[in-house]
Structure 1
Amino acid sequence: MNWVERISLVIEYVEQNLDGEISIDKAAIIACCSKFHLHRIFFSYFDITFSEYVRRRRFTLAAADVISTQATIVDIAMKYGYTSPNAFTRSFRKMHGVNPSEVRSANAKIATYSKASFPLEPIEAERMEYKIVEKPSFNIVGKSKRFEFDDFTKNGKKFWKEYVGSDDYKSLCELTNGKPGLVTGSPLLSAYFPDEKNEQDRFLDVLGVEYGFGEKVKEFKAHNVPAATYAEFDCSYRGAMKTNRYIYGKWFSATGYERDGGKPDIVSYFPMPWRHFSEMRLRWWVPVIKTSENA
Structure 2
Amino acid sequence: MEWLMQLSKSIEYIENNLTSEISYDEAAKIACCSTYYFQRMFSYVAGIPLSEYIRRRRMTQAAFEIQSCNTKIGDIAFKYGYTSPTAFNRAFKNIHGISPTAARSKGVLLQAYPSISFKITVTGGKSMRYRIETKESFRIVGVSVPLQEEMEENLKIVPKFWEEMWRGDKLSEISSLSDQNPKKLLGVSVYTSPQYISYYIAVATDKPVPKGMTEYVIPSATWVVLECDGHYPESIQTMYKRFLTEWLPFSGYKYAELPDIEVYSSCDEKPNGGHSEIWIAIEKE
Q: TM-score, normalised by structure 2?
A: 0.85
Contact in 1 for aligned 2:188/2:199 (Cα 8 Å):
yes
Pick from 172, 175, 193 the counterpart of residue 174 of structure 2. Answer: 172
Residue 250 (structure 2) pairs with residue 250 (structure 1)? no
- Structure 1 residues 159, 120: CA separation in 2 closer, same or farther (over 3 Å shift)? farther
Per the alignment, residue 281 of structure 2 pairs with 287
Partner of 2:200: 206
| Counterpart residue type for residue 228 of structure 1 | A
The alpha carbon displacement at 1:276 in A equals 10
What does residue 232 of structure 1 align with? 225
8 Å contact from structure 2 (residues 222, 283) kept in 1: yes
Is this contact kept in 2: 1:135–1:230, CA < 8 A? yes
Letter in 2 for 1:2: E
Contact 2:185 2:266 in 1 (8 A): no
Secondary structure at 1:100 match in 2? coil
Query: Which residue number corresponds to residue 129 of structure 2?
Result: 129
Cα offset, 1:189, TM superposition? 0.7
Percent identity, aligned pairs only? 32
- Report how far residue 133 of structure 1 moved: 1.5
TM-superposed CA distance for 1:121, in Å, is: 5.6
Cα pair 1:59 1:95 within 8 Å, conserved = yes
CA distance in 1, matches of 2:200, 2:15: 35
Partner of 2:78: 78
Q: Is residue 124–residue 246 contact of structure 1 (8 Å, CA) maintained in 2?
A: no
- Secondary structure of 2:141's match? strand
RMSD over aligned CA atoms reads: 2.9
Alignment of 1:20-169 (within 5 A): 20-104=20-104, 107-119=107-119, 128-147=128-147, 148-154=150-156, 156-169=158-171
5+ residue gaps, structure 1: none
| Closer, same or farther: CA 106–196 of 1 in aligned 2, 3 Å | farther
1:104-149 per-residue CA deviation (whole Å, 9 max, x = no partner) reads: 3575322110111244665689752333222222222222223331
User: Against the structure 1 CA distance between its residues 279 and 80, is the aligned structure 2 distance closer, same or farther, given a 3 Å change threshold?
Assistant: closer
Give the direction of change, closer, same or farther, for the CA distance of 1:192–1:123 in structure 2 (3 Å limit): farther
For the residue of structure 2 that corresponds to 1:41, the secondary structure is helix
CA distance in 2, matches of 1:270, 1:85: 50
Matched-pair contact (CA < 8 Å) for 1:237–1:277: no
**Structure 2 CA distance for partners of 1:124 and 1:277, relative to 1, 3 Å:** farther
Q: Find the aligned partners of 1:221 and 1:195 in 2 and give their Cα distance.
A: 16
> Following TM superposition, by how much is the alpha carbon of 1:287 offset from its aligned partner in structure 2, in angstroms?
0.9
Residues 150-198 of structure 1: CA deviation (Å, up to 9, x unaligned): 1233563344134222233333334x2xx4449xx75311101125434
Work out the number of aligned pairs and report it. 280
Please, which of 191, 196, 199 is the counterpart of residue 194 of structure 1? Answer: 191
The worse-fitting range, judged by mean Cα deviation, of 277-286 and 46-55 is 277-286
Inter-CA distance 232–260: structure 2 relative to 1 (3 Å threshold): same
Cα distance in 2 for residues equivalent to 1:222 and 1:209? 10
- In 1, the alpha carbon distance for the partners of 2:229 and 2:244 equals 17
| Deviation string, structure 1 residues 11-57 (Cα, Å, up to 9, x no partner) | 21111100011122111111112234323432333222222111100
